Amino acid sequence: MTDTKGKVVAVNGNMVSVEFDGKVSLNEVGYVKVGGKSLKGEVIRIRGNTAQMQIYEMTNGISTDCSVEFTGDLLSVEVGPGLLGQVYDGLQNPLPLLAEKSGYFLERGVYLPALDENKKWEFTPTAKEGDKVFAGDNIGTVPEGPFTHKILVPFGFLGTYTIKKIAKAGEYKIHDTIATLADEKGKSVNISMSFKWPVKRAVNCYAERLSPDEPMVTKVRLIDTFFPVAKGGTYCIPGPFGAGKTVLQHTTSRNADVDIVIIAACGERAGEVVETLTEFPELKDPRTGRSLMERTIIICNTSSMPVASREASCYTGVTLAEYYRQMGLNVLLLADSTSRWAQAMREMSGRLEEIPGEEAFPAYLESTIASFYERAGIVKLRDGNVGSVTIGGTVSPAGGNFEEPVTQATLKVVGAFHGLSRERSDARRYPSIDPLDSWSKYKSTIGHNLVEFARNVYKRGAEVNQMMKVIGEEGTSLSDFVIYLKSEFLDAVYMQQDSFDEIEGASSVERQKYVFNKIVEILGSDFDFEEKDDARNFFNTLRQNFIDMNYKEFKSSDFTKAEKVIESTLSSKNAQVSNEAKKLLKDGE
């Protein structure tokens, strides 16, 4: 605590105005004293000697005679060994321990240590006395779940430091001194295995920021092939309620080619948060065969916290992600849903009496969303290792309207757009990403020209489908009808995927390339059809053959048998691959 004290002079929902005597900083943490409890808040605006604070608890009982104590510290999280497998609220309180202390109804004003202060960790030094180090450098390691957790020099250290003393290999608690450093002026400072870092300050302790061009494989065919995401990139998943955002996030969390998964449930309904909390410990990690929670951190708001805490959840999540990136790990942060965060900003902006923007959202909505997504990235560290933070945010626009401000502000900064369609979800075509509206700026796992060839077939088929709704099937030529059947075939056997099957739910890059080449052959083939019913029956049979193959383990005997059935079906109609398709397949582009 500092010597700066204050007094509440006004209360407006979860925002209080405080007159203070001394120095106060933006984003500084303060505690309002009420009823024998200290309620945590953050300074969001300063006007003269009056500070507006958003309180992260229910503000019942706060009146103009309540005192306020300022800490001098910015809103921060504690980082160090023991983060993985934890479930936190937006202020990094461990919720399981909070529930043990408070019961079903969480007490306000109760704040617990984020990390276990009594657990001992097996420390192994990687630096020695006399070494020169900088902020973010690795000086030792401890084992944490399936990873080697690197002990880093705190991010806030400026300039060059010399290691005067470092602990020997052995067991230590997170707050035990493990090294003594001296700065350029000879001043010594002790460091432990943990430290705090402000959540709204990006971590920049790396040598170089790289361009995100390596695909982050999700094993979801529609994403990896048509709308890929890069490691260190950004993407958004807007869609109406019930369109499959949560299942898609679970699938991505389980199968994505990343080391750490962080879920920031910054605005989902209680039922979906409970589903996340109960299902993630049960999900099997394909890498280790153990619980997925061993490499996952979940951050979610509780119903006893006001809407302003949604902002804290987002920034807490991205700060933890940056911390693990600094170890050379690949991290995926899933924020669900940023629409609720934006609505909380709108509510707080109204209480601050700011000039509103479109649909009463604050005028700085776009810059705030951009500053969050800009903290993603792939970086080269000073030791030569590369780490990344990939951010995927879901958006819940009212009525599925993608023209609303939050979706549009997000689209301006992300690298991929996975728009979910109500029409596709109602038709049970999952994942319900709309192949016509969605897009990606990143490189696909499959050759660009091959993907464009298949995309064009799908677009032409969709146009024929719209035309058929007007003039009917009888008014459509056989050639156009075959294009429509090809597009429906592509949709059914490749774009749609069963997330609940162990084999079909996770399609490797090798399998995607192999199957996609077969599909391109079919899309680029001419067939001997006498009439539309003949074509319809053929593609229905072929579709079922491919779906059966999708459920067989890749290159197994059953998979080979399914391939032979497909070849037999194709030969029955004398399939002739076009020269264009042959050239594309030969070039592999």
What tens digit of pLDDT does each residue of 172-212 get?
A: 999 999 999 999 999 999 999 999 999 999 999 999 999 99
Contacts of 304 (CB under 8 A, 6+ apart): 57, 58, 105, 106, 108
Residue 232 pLDDT: 97
Of 265-269, 425-429, 455-459, 474-478, minimum mean pLDDT range: 265-269
Contact at 8 Å (CB) between 26 and 46?
yes
| Residue-wise DSSP of 337-397 | -HHHHHHHHHHHHHHTTPPB-GGG-BTTHHHHHHHHHTT-EEEE-TTS-EEEEEEEEEE--
Q: How far is CA 241 from the centre of its chain?
A: 19
pLDDT digits (tens, 9 = 90+) for 482-514: 999 999 999 999 999 999 898 999 999 999 999
Mean predicted confidence (pLDDT) in 22-41: 94
Residue that has been written with the tokens 């009420």 in this structure: 34
Residue stretches of the annotated binding site: 239-246
* Fold of the 207-440 domain: Rossmann fold (3.40.50)
CATH (residue range 120-193): 2.40.50.100
Can you tell me whether residue 55 is helix, strand or coil? strand
Stronger pLDDT, 279 or 142, i.e. the higher one: 142
Mean predicted confidence (pLDDT) in 271-279: 73
| CA atoms of 30 and 496, how far apart (whole Å) | 51
Residue 589 pLDDT: 62
| pLDDT-derived band at 311, boundaries 50, 70, 90 | confident
Residue stretches of the annotated binding site for ATP: 239-246
Mean predicted confidence (pLDDT) in 295-310: 82
Residue 42 pLDDT: 96
CA nearest 97: which of 82, 119, 107, 112? 112
* Fold of the 448-587 domain: 1.10.1140
Give the predicted TM-score (pTM) of the model: 0.95
State the CB neighbour count (10 A cutoff) for residue 49: 12
Residue 206 pLDDT: 95
Above 90 in pLDDT, residue 84? yes
Pairing of strands 260-265, 330-335: parallel
Can you tell me whether residue 39 is helix, strand or coil? strand
Above 90 in pLDDT, residue 305? no
Q: What is the DSSP letter of 473?
A: G
| pLDDT-derived band at 282, boundaries 50, 70, 90 | confident
| CA atoms of 102 and 22, how far apart (whole Å) | 35
Instruction: Please list the residues that pair with 69 across neighbouring strands.
Output: 5, 31
Contact at 8 Å (CB) between 215 and 443?
yes
Above 70 in pLDDT, residue 66? yes
The CATH architecture one would assign to domain 5-73 is: Beta Barrel (2.40)
Above 80 in pLDDT, residue 259? yes
Contacts of 95 (CB under 8 A, 6+ apart): 87, 88, 89, 300, 302
Extents of the domains making up the chain: 5-73, 120-193, 207-440, 448-587
Residue 53 pLDDT: 96
Above 70 in pLDDT, residue 270? no
pLDDT digits (tens, 9 = 90+) for 542-589: 999 999 999 999 999 999 999 999 999 999 888 899 899 989 988 876
Residue 306 pLDDT: 79
Can you tell me whether residue 454 is helix, strand or coil? helix
| CA atoms of 209 and 313, how far apart (whole Å) | 25
pLDDT digits (tens, 9 = 90+) for 384-430: 999 999 999 999 888 788 999 999 999 999 999 999 999 999 999 99
Above 90 in pLDDT, residue 481? yes
- The rounded mean pLDDT for the chain is 93
State the CB neighbour count (10 A cutoff) for residue 353: 8
Above 70 in pLDDT, residue 469? yes
Pairing of strands 67-74, 28-34: antiparallel
Residue 265 pLDDT: 87
Listed as own residue / partner, the contacts of 359-364 with beta carbons closer than 8 Å and 24 or more positions apart are 359/404, 359/405, 361/405, 361/406
| CA atoms of 292 and 250, how far apart (whole Å) | 10
